[in-house]
Structure 1
Amino acid sequence: MNTVNLTINGKATSANCEPRTHLADFLRDNHNLTGTHIGCEHGVCGACTLLVDGVPARSCITFATACDGAEVTTVEGLDTDEIAAELRTAFMKEHGLQCGYCTPGMLVSARDVILRMQDPTEHDIRFIMSGNLCRCTGYVGITRAIQSVISDRRARGIAAIPDGGRVRLGPAGSGNAGAVSASQVARGTAAVSSLPKTTVPGTAPAASRKDDGWKPQTTFEQNFTVAHPIDVVWDFFGRVGEVASCLPGASLVGEPVDGHVEGQIKVKVGPISAEFHGVADIARNDATRTGTIDGTGKDKRSNSATRGRIGYAVKEGARPGETRVDVSIGFTLTGMLAQFSRSGLVQDVANRLIAVFVQNLEARLTHQAEGKPAEAAPVITEFDAGSLMSSVLVGQIKRLFAKLVRRR
């Protein structure tokens, strides 16, 4: 149990709670402040929004212990607040509430809009309030209520406060854990050592990510052979842009800098078309002819994200003039596309994708050996995992029937 000291609605309080207790539960269970409603418990619906050090925060995903020493204001603490009082009147007048479940969070967020925005348009208000969901009103009354309060206050000569009077950088409540305030930064007195240690992309190896304890959900190994000398193949793998061009749907954004590169890969899975944008850290060891690629990517359209690690080793082939490449692939996939990430299907699809990669690699190396521009080689540039999966499923069904026939 931890002791949490907060100033809640102007009163200093202290109570014990487990480290995992969220601020919303802490306020409701320990202090009977049930005006803070809990909806999705994922920080999405906004029903639990309150003020931490004057800044709106989602209390359902904020740990109470993380706010130790902060000032917390719930909807109950806004009883005498001028803006909140005007909003309550406007919400009733414009029919901005029905069941009322979202209303506490709506009032807190709307108050912040009025406090810091001088003359927002209807579109501005709708955009900013989109983080607070309502199942009843259709938002028309809510938007009108906020507009009316802003118009009345500006007509009375009450201007918006830039940034809502916020003086600290960082998440709500972080100023009570030694965060640097904006005024300190402006005066230039903040010590660099007090800030979290970060790495500038491209200036450090990928070890910081590799050593963070991440473990892939799915891992498998593969190997392939190309009919070209090992030195030629190893040299080719060092040209990241050309390697990426052999992978259907992949492309880079600029050239690698200090082993750090940005890129994207387009994937089509049936009706789903995804375009993962991300970054990767690349390391190569000329002595052992091994390398690693550690990367992350996200597709905004499907809200899917992935993290992966590829390790490869280039070795002499079984025959003279041939090269064998051993590949180890580990990845984690989340979001909509995760439904296609069952290891068996993924490995079969990956095998076929690697086959296409090898075909493209052979074409480029052959052109290079013949003195032709490697980029002029005919390559397969599109990757439709849906069609690949269809053939994979057909193959698996055939194998299943074959097993059944053999048993009979």
Structure 2
Amino acid sequence: MSTASATFHDDRLSLDLTVNGRARSLRAEPRTHLADVLRDALDLTGTHLGCEHGVCGACTVLLDGEPARACLTVSGACAGAEVTTIEGLDDDPVAGELRAAFNREHALQCGYCTPGMLIAARDLVLRLPEPDERRIRAGLSGNLCRCTGYVGIVRAVRSVIAERRARGIAPVTGQRGLGPVGARLGAPSGPAAAAARTPLRPVAQADSAPGIADLDADFVPAHRFDQAFTVAHPPDAVFALFGDVEAVAACLPGAVLTGRPSPDAAEGALQVRIGPIAARFRGRARITRDEEALTGRILGAGSDAGGRSATQGEIRYRVGPGEAPGTARIDLAVGYTLKGPLAQFGRPGLVRDLAGRLGADFAANLEARLSGAPALTTAGLNPLRLLLSTLLAPLWRRLSGRGDRRA
């Protein structure tokens, strides 16, 4: 009599997520949908499953601050992501206003679509400048309701938008990025990200970010470059704005604060893309300022979600008078060191070009902020434009040089 034995292999992966503001570690098969992980492993059953084809919107959650279909999102792609479910919005003021409006306008019946509908509606309340019914209906077209006929839902969303704008609460700005988790170019930043995410924790209470427990004050960067730009505002006003960490982060494309900053410390993330590699670095920064000399230094370090790429860098800035009266010149000295896969593509020339374009967007946003206008762009860079400019710039210089010699 023979016996047979079988060996079963555990193909599950370790998955670290931040769910509703709490760090969670679990094991899941990489192809398991995020909705199943939330419901089965974390017992967050407010995320409903309907069509499981990404059509009905019942499973909508916030993924890194953006509405996403949990039934189509593979959990293996979510390592390091921040997930907010309907349970995580219990104390959210926008969601609270929407719940009251949904009750008032009879915007729910069976309630199965309501969690996903509230998350989608919250996103519209944050972004739309005015209660435009056409845009609200278009924004909710990915969330299906079998009961209400949508009239009450639209009325509820319109009323919340109108009430908030009447109270002087402006819409958040920023262009959405596309792509898988951790690889989206132009992830929401500044006010948009701060409103879309769960409430910020004070930096002193936040968990230590990887690799930055002891920032080296004597850090010597592997690469350096200088940059300067001028804004049409006096130096004192510009230097004062540089002391507002949240305002500076709102002006920097790809940046987002993940902790409430203090005058000398900040916790946040920066979306970076160089060549075919994209990473979302999370870390902390130490901030020093000299009020008399109008100079400052930001020293930071961090790593991407998988810990495969790491960076440390510093920005030294000086604010002085510009050539024209009432203007300020800002001189930046940037130094950085890259490690991991990103360093393979981080040629200094490419990084300098990337930083130059970031600097131009930052200067435009800074000018707008000082003028009291909304930021012009917080969406990061167009990778195709960057690639084309990087490839064509040397050719253009050679052609221009030949033209000069022929002349």
TM-score with structure 2 setting the length: 0.46
Give the number of the structure whose alpha-carbon radius of gyration is greater.
1
Q: Pick 1 or 2: higher relative contact order, CA cutoff 8 A, min separation 6.
A: 2
The structure carrying a bigger helix percent of its residues is 1
